């Protein structure tokens, strides 16, 4: 499913450990289409809110997504971590070809 997204952003947290800086993926943001940014960039700002999803949960041993679908439906596959407000400025090559920038 990630391959069908226009953008896949990773949100990192950086922490200083005893000996080095640790970099950990905190969550991910998926942007399904850039069309709203392309069409609205000619008009003005167009910030959009996207969900920040946590890492994919692992089911306990002995459970599977196929046989225990209710468990996945009830608890979800990825936890909700928060929201990201994102605005992309698209600079089209020309007004006649807004999809090329």
Confidence (pLDDT) at 43 = 67
Q: What is the pLDDT of residues 55-68, one digit of tens each?
A: 877 767 776 666 66
Token pair listed for 55: 């890492």
Chain-centroid distance, C-alpha 59: 22
Sign for the CA dihedral angle at 15, 53, 4, 46 comes to negative
Alpha-carbon gap, residue 45 to 33, rounded angstroms: 17
Alpha-carbon gap, residue 90 to 83, rounded angstroms: 22
- With a cut of 60, say whether residue 41 has pLDDT above it: no
């Amino acid at each position: 499913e990630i391959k069908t997204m226009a953008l896949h952003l990773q949100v990192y947290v950086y922490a200083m450990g005893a000996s080095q800086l640790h970099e950990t993926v905190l969550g991910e943001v998926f942007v399904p289409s850039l069309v709203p940014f392309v069409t609205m960039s000619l008009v003005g700002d167009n910030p959009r809110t996207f969900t920040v999803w946590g890492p994919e949960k692992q089911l306990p041993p002995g459970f599977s997504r196929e046989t225990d679908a209710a468990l996945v439906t009830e608890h979800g596959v990825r936890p909700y971590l928060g929201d990201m407000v994102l605005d992309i400025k698209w600079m089209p090559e020309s007004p006649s070809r807004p999809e090329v920038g």
